[in-house]
Chains A and B, each alone.
Chain A
Amino acid sequence: MILDWLPPTLIGFLLVLAGIGAIRRMNLWRAGQAEKVNILAGLLAMPKRYLHDLHHVVERDKYMSRTHVATGGGFVLAMVLVLFVHLFGVKSEILAWALLAALVLMFCGALFVYKRRMNPPSRLSKGPWMRLPKSLLTFSITFFVLTLPAAGILPEGTGGWVLTLVLSVLILMSLSEMLFGMTWGGPMKHAFAGALHLAFHRRPERFGGGRSTGLKPAVLGEASHGVAKPTDFKWNQLLGFDACVQCGRCEAVCPAFAAGQPLNPKKLIQDMVVGFAGGTDAKYAGSPYPGVDVGNAKGAPDQIITNGLISSDTLWSCTTCRACVEECPMMIEHVDAIVDMRRFLTLEKGETPNKGAQVLENIIATDNPNGYSPASRTHWAADQNLNLMKDVKQADVLFWVSDGAFDMRSQRILRAFVKLMKAANIDVAILGDEELDSGDVARRLGDDAAFQSLAKRNLATLSKYSFKTIVTTDPHAFHCLKNEYGDFGSDALKGVEVLHHTTFLNRLVKEGRLQLDTFKGGKVTYHDPCYLGRYNGEYDAPRELLASLGIDVAEMERSGYRSRCCGGGGGAPITDIPGERRIADMRMEDVVSTGAEMVAVGCQQCTAMLEGVVEPRPVVKDIAEILVSQLSEEVNS
């Protein structure tokens, strides 16, 4: 046969091209900042991370998960076998049969991909992605036919040179997509970058059921702070952006996107890719940032991101609710990227929008965001008879009051919780005026300098006293204390258990230290605060507490790890980027649609946001408040 050399040559040629592309792509990533990762361990762990962790996320969409296993698994297997059978010319019928089987598997998967793409939901990107199922089908059919002779089903040379030519053209078409496209920026890039991203992920703790949600501290005192240009990201962050499959799951859950604010996490990640690879977003074929046209964004690795690639409003719209991260099958870290870029805007440009500047100034001058007198922090507790750590030096439990101390509505929650602790005879103390803002808001607004200063001073205060447990009613402070204060080299929290008040109360109830009457009100639903749920994995304690009152929670469609944010996080109420709707209103609609008369929450900020919705609306109550009203015995001491 004259043309027999053609298919292997084509395969080889495309492989070489793919190799060149891979090196080029890797160089793009390497333009990012150095970050230590354990290369070998990462590579070794990669298959397990793929099969276990990534699949765990993909599994939430059963249809897609099966499709992906068939297509992806089939393809990887087939590709390896193709190398042996067609490139190296290993003559083995067994191999050929295995290849055929793999191709059939892949073909079936590809059919489902095709079907999905017939009428794709809006969150999926179109453009080249619409071509992908066809390429997949072509690939499997072509190689199926090509392999038939090797498997001994058809005699060698069937079809003559015409068939070989036709097949070669098809090989060229499909393999360009599958191999060349993989490393030169086609849709299949996700397989290549995704695999490496899993291997070199910046938060390896996330794999194997772990959790890593605390922001990484900014290094202060350098020539610049935060991320200004794409190359200011760590190299493995850039790699992570490249792993995006544009599945749009993040877009579908993003509260800011739903509210019509100019943020779409999927587009954001794609713009990051445009940034470090250079070019424009003209080829982007998914939903835009609400209210912003696609095609005008330009980026380059060394160009300031907010100069032409994305607008700063996009960054300030995020509530840092982590819904996108939780949902992303490629385990991309959107929130890290957004806060990194915010750090540049705040620390270097001084461009925190709206009330941001004032809030940060207040935090610096008064250690609380609203500029209240630091000496009035303990006024709420004037009648509470609480021990001050300053006096007692030690206690079983330290109650971290948080800035709710200044807010009349939040004080009701604080008082309710104190009453419960007293009913259970807990040895508790507070820091009083020594407590400072946890720094949550400052950090999410990008002012890591203010955050670190607060964190260090708080840790210094904490280290003066001894306590076993620290409890707070504020999930934001809870998150800082538990997951972020550890980066500052202090022993103050060593061996200390940091708990949210719902977890703590749940223990008390289980130990029988709180006697509660059954709740007889109407239907109740529960809103999971993002900083309690997604950030800290506490979904059960609040529900168990409600159950202990005999409440059968009428769950919202979006609850648990899919809970929709109330709009109160990440400094979003401060930066106040206009949208078409308010996030809190949407959340209240979720509540209303369950028919509940009351929504239980575990966060003062959620309470404030949800209560800000125009009445009539269901009642909003913190779990501590609900419990306190069902407390059967009065405190006798």
Chain B
Amino acid sequence: MSEFPSTEATSSGLLRRDPRTEWIARNRLHPLHSSVVSAGQGEVRGPTGLLRKNPHVIGFIGPNGIKRIDRANLSAAGLNSKKRAGEAKEVQLPLHVVDNPDGYIMVVADMIGGRLTSHDKDILGLAHQLVAENKAADKGNIAVVLVCFGESKETQFDLAGVDRLLHITGQEFEGFAPEARLSALMQIEAQYKPENWLFPDSIHGGTDLACRLASRLGERPATQAWQVTATSTVSRGASGSCDISRETPRILMLMEECANAIEDTRHQVLDLEFDVNSVDTGDNYRLIDQGQIEVDSNAVPLAEAEFILSAGNGIHNWDQFHAVAAALRATEGASRVAVDDGFMPRSRQVGASGTWVTARVYLAVGISGAIQHMQGIGQCDKVVAINTDAGCDMVKRADLAVIEDSEAVLEALMKLAQEHYSSKEQEKSDAA
């Protein structure tokens, strides 16, 4: 079939001109001329083995819709549609090999949900910067070790810059277990004497563990560090209002984007020897984790809520609204008008004059979107609008907008939510 370049130009199958072939095609005297021209040029072997010409393929449709025959053969499919070889092929990144390292840099990852966070990856990137600096200064060959606790679902440690892996599993390290984890880190400290300990300065446990280790080791760490070299560190102080420069300490808590993540190399991900059972898991732990507790979605502070169902003056059936919020396990929000009219408490008001929200999904029902309101939801990832007015600002902002009376949609949503959760319940009780 004839292929027009425009339809073919996807990112993977990119068209490239090949000046040499074009030149050969123009030069009838060139020894390769006939083979170049005939390539894919409407000549096929028929079923009998005879060479046949397909007259339909000859020529092309010109810009004003008239069929033209290209005597110069410049647009020959064989010339122009030649794809770059290897384009689709997986690039094999070079492997960064560290054998018999002289030292280690430990990166203790947050691993939210069992995967490296982008914060973790930045820190691995930074670790490699420090390694390179050490190498340049002839301070030996250092391996970057990733220390992680609990279940891991990460499959791309190699691409993130992990030379060695210390994956510590076991019941006592799961959940909130700072004491057990600290014991493990102390064991690592004793066994490997790392050059540096790097932690994400994060609310996901990184800061906590780092502070524990630092105070146990009696080392003064740098917190909120954001510019780190092997010799000097700049960190934020006084609630982010000043920069403190000092010699790089051994323990660092690093801010997000402190360095670029690894992109161009693969790493070995060799398991480092570590005996979990030798960790001194004393029974004298004084913190007992009772697990995460079920939080009533409506008790979650509006500013922190992940999923907000928000009501405006397009809501007429308030009982239904509350029921749907409960069924969807969403946090309730409201527009100023709904609050002024007394349907919702002031604390639920979203917007510049109420609460600035950061929800992942903001579902706005019957809110047309006054400017202050739109300001307040500026940081939401996905906005869904249910509104009768297709022209309102909320619909324009929304990633998904449905133009419909709210009551009908909410009713249908309610049903879906109930079905969903009751089947979940079912599964749970079946499994139990």
Select from chain A the residue with minimum beta-carbon distance to B341: A582
B230 within 8 A of A: no
A205 to chain B, nearest CB (A): 39
When the two chains form the complex, which single residue of B337, B340, B342, B346 contacts A354, counting CB atoms closer than 8 Å? Answer: B346
Q: Which residues on the A side are within 8 Å of B337 (C-beta)?
A: 614
Chain A to chain B contacts (Cβ below 8 Å), 8 pairs:
A354-B346, A576-B346, A578-B342, A580-B342, A582-B340, A612-B336, A614-B313, A614-B337
- B313, B336, B337, B340 interface centre (most CB from chain A within 10 Å): B340
A residues near B (Cβ < 8 Å) are 354, 576, 578, 580, 582, 612, 614
Complexed CA–CA distance, A576 and B340 (Å): 10
Known interface pairs A582-B340, A612-B336; 6 further A-B residue pairs with C-beta atoms within 8 A, sorted by A's residue number: A354-B346, A576-B346, A578-B342, A580-B342, A614-B313, A614-B337
> Which B residues are within 8 Å of any A CB, using their own CB?
313, 336-337, 340, 342, 346
Assembled-state Cα–Cα distance A578/B313 (Å): 18
Q: How far is the CB of B421 from chain A (nearest CB, A)?
A: 35
A residues within 8 A CB of B313?
614
Among residues of B, the one whose C-beta sits closest to the C-beta of A354 is B346
A94 to chain B, nearest CB (A): 68
B339 → chain A closest CB, angstroms: 9
List the A side residues contacting B342 at CB < 8 Å. 578, 580
Please classify the interface of chain A as helix (H, G, I), strand (E, B), loop, or mixed, using the class held by over half of its residues.
Answer: loop
A514 CA / B319 CA spacing, docked (Å): 59
* Chain B residue, CB-CB nearest to A585: B340
A580 to B340, CA, bound (A): 10
A603 to chain B, nearest CB (A): 19
A576 CB contacts on chain B under 8 angstroms = 346
Which chain A residues lie closer than 8 Å to B340 at the CB level?
A: 582
**Least distance between B249 CB and chain A CB atoms (Å):** 33
Give the complex CA separation of A580 and B342 in angstroms.
8
In the assembled complex, the CB of B22 is this many whole angstroms from the nearest CB of chain A, namely 58
Q: How far is the CB of A577 from chain B (nearest CB, A)?
A: 11
CB-nearest residue of chain B to A370: B353
Closest 4 CB pairs of A and B: A582-B340, A614-B337, A576-B346, A578-B342
A576, B354: Cα distance in complex, Å: 13
By beta carbon, the residue of chain B nearest A576 is B346
Query: By DSSP majority rule, is chain B's interface helix, strand, loop, or mixed?
Result: helix
* Contacts across chains A and B counted by CB atoms under 8 Å: 8
A614 to B314, CA, bound (A): 13
**A159 nearest CB across to chain B (Å):** 66
Complex Cα spacing A580 to B337, Å: 14
Residues of A within 8 Å of B346, CB to CB, are: 354, 576
With A and B bound together, what is the CA distance between A582 and B346 in angstroms?
A: 14
- Tell me the smallest distance from the CB of A474 to a CB of chain B, in Å: 19
Most chain A C-beta atoms within 10 Å of own C-beta, residue among B313, B336, B337, B342: B342
A578 contacts across to B, CB distance below 8 A? 342
Minimum C-beta distance from A398 to chain B (A) = 31
B316 to chain A, nearest CB (A): 16
Q: Which residues of B contact A354 (CB under 8 A)?
A: 346
The CA-CA distance from A582 to B342 in the complex, in Å, is: 10
- Nearest-neighbour CB distance to chain B for A290, whole angstroms, equals 14
A475 to B94, CA, bound (A): 72
| Alpha-carbon distance A614/B367, docked complex (angstroms) | 13
**How far, in angstroms, from A612 to B340 measured CA to CA in the complex?**
10
Kindly state the separation between the CA atoms of A578 and B347 in the bound complex, as whole angstroms: 13
Question: What residues on B are CB-neighbors of A580 within 8 Å?
Answer: 342
Measured between alpha carbons, how far is A183 from B401 in the docked complex, in Å? 72
Closest to A355 in B: B346
In whole angstroms, how far apart are the Cα atoms of A182 and B422 in the complex? 75
Give the distance to chain B from A2, nearest Cβ to Cβ, in Å: 72
Give complex CA distance A29, B342 in Å. Answer: 42
Q: Please give me the residue from chain B that is nearest to A615 by CB atom.
A: B370
Compute how far the CA of A134 lies from the CA of B230 in the bound complex, rounded to whole angstroms: 99
Report the minimum CB–CB distance from B338 to chain A (whole Å): 11
Task: Write the nearest CB–CB distance from B302 to chain A, whole angstroms.
Answer: 15
Taking the nearest CB of chain B, how far is it from the CB of A317, in angstroms? 15
Give the nearest-CB partner of B336 in chain A.
A612
Distance of A615 from chain B, by nearest CB (Å)? 10
| Shortest Cβ gap from A374 to chain B (Å) | 15
Minimal beta-carbon separation of A465 from chain B (angstroms): 32
For the complex formed, measure the closest distance between the CB of A616 and the CB atoms of chain B, giving whole angstroms.
13
Complex CA distance for A588 and B82, rounded to whole angstroms: 72
CB-nearest residue of chain A relative to B313? A614
Closest to B345 in A: A578
Name the CB-closest residue of A to B346: A576
- A582–B336 alpha-carbon span in the complex (Å): 12
Tell me which of A354, A582, A612 has the highest count of chain B C-beta atoms within 10 A of its own C-beta: A612
A633, chain B: closest CB distance, angstroms: 34
How close is B79's CB to chain A, nearest CB, in angstroms? 59
Distance, CA A578 to CA B341, complexed state (A): 10
A582 to B339, CA, bound (A): 11
Q: Which residue of B lies closest to A408 (CB)?
A: B371
Closest CB of chain B to A175's CB: distance in Å?
52
Shortest beta-carbon distance, B82 to chain A, in Å? 58
CA distance A612 to B337 in the complex (A): 9
> A566 to nearest B CB, angstroms?
14
Q: How far is the CB of B346 from chain A (nearest CB, A)?
A: 6
A residues in contact with B336, CB < 8 Å: 612
Contacts of A612 in B (CB 8 A): 336
A191 to chain B, nearest CB (A): 44
Find chain B residues with CB under 8 A from A614 CB.
313, 337
CB distance from A359 to the nearest CB of B (A): 12
The chain A residue sitting closest to B337, CB to CB, is: A614
A354, B346: Cα distance in complex, Å: 9
A56 shortest CB reach to chain B, Å:
39
| Closest-CB distance, B245 to chain A (whole angstroms) | 25
Q: Which residues of B contact A582 (CB under 8 A)?
A: 340
Q: Give, as a whole number of angstroms, the nearest-CB distance from B19 to chain A.
A: 55
**Measured CA separation A187–B342 after assembly (Å):** 40
Question: In angstroms, how far is the closest chain A Cβ from the Cβ of B153?
Answer: 43
**Closest CB of chain B to A362's CB: distance in Å?**
14
Alpha-carbon distance A297/B337, docked complex (angstroms): 34
Question: What's the nearest-Cβ distance from chain B to residue A257, in Å?
Answer: 18
- Closest CB of chain A to B344's CB: distance in Å? 12
Give complex CA distance A582, B340 in Å.
7
Q: A576 vs B339: C-alpha distance in the bound complex, in angstroms?
A: 11
CB closest residue in chain A, given B342: A578
Interchain nearest-CB distance for A6 vs B (Å): 63
Bound together, the chains give a CA A578 to CA B336 distance in angstroms of 14
B70 to chain A, nearest CB (A): 61
Q: How far is the CA of A534 from the CA of B337 in the complex (A)?
A: 31
> Shortest beta-carbon distance, B430 to chain A, in Å?
48
**Distance of A614 Cα from B313 Cα, bound (Å):** 11
Least CB distance, A614 to chain B, in whole angstroms: 6
- The smallest C-beta distance from A113 to any residue of chain B, in angstroms, reads 41
Q: How far is A388 from B175 in the complex, measured between Cα atoms in Å? A: 60
Tell me the smallest distance from the CB of A610 to a CB of chain B, in Å. 14
- Could you tell me the distance between the alpha carbons of A576 and B342 in the complex, rounded to whole angstroms? 12
Report the minimal beta-carbon distance from B340 to chain A, rounded to whole angstroms. 6
Minimum CB distance partner of A582 in chain B: B340
Output the least CB separation between A407 and chain B (Å).
Answer: 11
**Identity of the chain A residue whose Cβ is nearest the Cβ of B347 in the assembled complex:** A354
A580 → chain B, closest Cβ, in Å?
A: 8
Q: How far is the CB of A74 from chain B (nearest CB, A)?
A: 51
Most-contacted residue by chain B among A354, A576, A582, A614 (CB, 10 A):
A614
A576 to B346, CA, bound (A): 9
Q: Report Cα–Cα, A614/B336, bound state, in Å.
A: 10
B314 CB to nearest chain A CB (Å): 13
How many angstroms between the C-alpha atoms of A383 and B340 in the bound complex? 37
In whole Å, how far is B378's beta carbon from the nearest beta carbon of chain A?
16
Q: Report the bound CA distance from A580 to B341 in whole Å.
A: 8
**Min CB distance, A63 to chain B, in Å?**
39
Quote the shortest CB–CB distance from A388 to chain B (angstroms).
Answer: 26
- The distance from the CB of A598 to the nearest CB of chain B, in whole angstroms, is 21
Q: Could you tell me the distance between the alpha carbons of A354 and B349 in the complex, rounded to whole angstroms?
A: 13
A612 to B336, CA, bound (A): 10
* CB of A316 to closest CB in B, whole Å: 14
CB distance from A212 to the nearest CB of B (A): 35
